[in-house]
Amino acid sequence: MQPYDNWNPHSPTCSLSSWQLDAIPEELPSWVFPDLESCDHSISDNAAVASHREAHEYPCVQRHGPSSPCGAGDPAIVCRRLTVKAIRKQRQNRQAQQRFRQRQKARVRELEDEAAQALSRLNKLQSRQLQLAARNALLEAVADSNFDFESKETSRSLHLIDAHQTVVLTALNNQQRVKTVQDVGQMPFTEFSALYAAYAKKIHKSLRDHAQSEPQSRSRSRSHPKFQSQSESQSQSLSLSLSQSQTSSDALQDMGKWTEGLSRLRVCVAIGNARNFVAFTASRLDGSMGPASSHLSDAWYHSFMETLQLTEEQQEAMMHLRRLFYGKLGALRRHRQQLLQQVPARPTESEMECDASIRLGTVLSNAQQLEQNSSAELRAYLHMSAYLRLATQQRGILTTKQQALCVVKAFPYSPDKLRMMEVLAARRKEPPGGVLAQPGDLDDFGHHGNWQRLVNHMKGVTKENMHLYIPLSQI
């Protein structure tokens, strides 16, 4: 028997076996087929029912054609696929919205940064405008002043000098000693300390006389005999008060004379030899050995300042002077830094190739500018000290009595004026000197101009306008 794979019904050798023929029935059953029209109606009805059922039971199912893959017609699978697709699309929409919001935030930040930069530029322009206005005002106020920091400002820079550049010293043995500024400047320390001690004794005596005259006048006016008539007692008390007031006036006059004489001595020494002046005033002035004035503690200065009994107006004036001084000092130090940056540590190759005379001229010019800068800083300190020594009747800050107390209470030392202001600033919680030395709202020209206005104010003090008091803040 041949296998079925090689069986061909059209082959002539192919024939049915006997058992196969016996298996075929003789009569086949008849099949009744319905009409085609009824068959079409039934088929269409069944399709409508099926589609209606799918639409109600599986609303998310879509009909697929005969080319759909296996299982595509399952409603659960189709619904799951549609749900995943919707979730993916929703996630994409959310990501797009998030990116849009991020772009919006970035744009808002950019606009805010641009607005902040524009506001900063506007503030700088306004500050620059104020600086230019202040500079114009300073130029009008100090048009004839010298800002090149040259050392030409000698005795004309300070005011307590006679027209003939001489000073009369009467503290020693009541003898008038006329000396020039140069002679006083070259005075040795022993002579200076002896003169200072003599002036301190004179000032102490005038203070004592002034203190004794006031209580005596009050006590004598209260004590008069009972048998005297009212007119006699009034005339006697009037004469006593006049005599005591005359004594007090004489004591104040002597106090002012000796205080001014000591100020003249200090100024002449400072002008003649500023470095000797700094060294002299930092030492003991009674001729004995001991620590220098720089070793005095802050507690000593606090006690010393309390004896002066400064008013609020005087304290504000001292703080204003302190701000002007540190502004000037900061401008000078920044100028010195610029000069030092121009001086190289060692000459470069190009400078070595230059002529030696050219290099020497550059070095000398830089050295001269540095010396002038140092001299300007020392003069600023001397101007500050000189202004504090001005009495109120000379457009200054301290009264004559307060200046006399400064000499007597601090003897044998000379109190450092800057240290006095620093102690007062610490008590008033003022900014430190390093902060005040920063440029701040003013440039260096503004600081120089403000200080020059103070110097011009000191130069303009004469005997005719001494009584015209001008607050320091209005100079």
Residue 393 lies in a domain: yes
Residue 455 lies in a domain: yes
Task: Assign 311 to helix, strand or coil.
Answer: coil
**How high is the pLDDT of residue 33?**
46
What tokens were used for 197?
Answer: 């001690």
Same domain assignment for residues 378 and 395:
yes
Q: Which of 249, 270, 290 is the last residue of a domain?
A: 290
Same domain assignment for residues 303 and 417:
yes
Q: What size, in residues, is the chain?
A: 475
Same domain assignment for residues 207 and 124:
no
For the CA atoms of 20, 21, 23, 27, the dihedral, rounded to the nearest 10 degrees, stands at 150
- For residue 421, which of 411, 431, 412, 435 has the smallest C-alpha distance? 431
**How high is the pLDDT of residue 37?**
46
Residue 4 lies in a domain: no
Residue 189 near residue 227, CB atoms below 8 Å: no
Residue 42 lies in a domain: no
Residue 459 lies in a domain: yes
What tokens were used for 362?
Answer: 């550059």
- Give the number of other Cβ atoms within 10 Å of residue 379's Cβ: 23
Same domain assignment for residues 137 and 204:
no
Same domain assignment for residues 104 and 178:
no
**How high is the pLDDT of residue 349?**
63
Residue with token string 């002038």: 372
Same domain assignment for residues 319 and 454:
yes
The Cα 369–Cα 339 span in angstroms is 8
**How high is the pLDDT of residue 43?**
45
- For residue 456, which of 11, 144, 150 has the smallest C-alpha distance? 144
What tokens were used for 377?
Answer: 């800083």
Residue 423 near residue 430, CB atoms below 8 Å: no
Same domain assignment for residues 100 and 121:
yes
Same domain assignment for residues 317 and 462:
yes
Residue 272 lies in a domain: yes
Residue 356 near residue 364, CB atoms below 8 Å: no
Residue 348 lies in a domain: no
The Cα 114–Cα 98 span in angstroms is 24
What tokens were used for 421?
Answer: 């202001």
Same domain assignment for residues 277 and 386:
no
- pLDDT per residue, tens digit, the chain (475 aa), is 444 444 454 544 444 455 454 555 555 555 444 444 444 444 444 544 455 444 444 444 444 444 444 445 567 776 777 788 888 888 899 999 999 999 999 999 999 999 999 999 998 888 888 877 777 776 666 555 555 444 444 334 434 444 346 666 665 666 666 677 777 777 888 888 888 888 888 888 888 887 877 655 454 444 444 434 445 555 554 444 444 555 667 777 888 888 888 887 887 787 777 778 888 888 888 777 767 777 888 888 888 888 888 889 888 989 999 999 999 999 999 988 888 887 766 666 665 656 666 667 777 888 888 888 888 888 888 888 878 877 655 567 888 888 888 888 888 888 888 888 999 999 999 998 888 888 877 778 778 888 888 887 777 766 666 556 666 666 6
**180, containing H or E segment:** strand 177-180
**How high is the pLDDT of residue 340?**
84
Q: Computed from CA positions of residues 135, 136, 137, 140, in that sequence, does the dihedral angle turn out positive or negative?
A: positive
Residue 470 lies in a domain: yes
**How high is the pLDDT of residue 4?**
45
Residue 203 near residue 229, CB atoms below 8 Å: no
- Number of structural domains the chain divides into: 3
For 185, the domain range is 159-223+234-290
Same domain assignment for residues 392 and 313:
yes
- Residue 297 is which amino acid? S
Same domain assignment for residues 125 and 186:
no
Same domain assignment for residues 114 and 206:
no
- pTM strictly above 0.85: no
Ordered DSSP codes for 125-155: HHHHHHHHHHHHHHHHHTTT---S--TT-SG
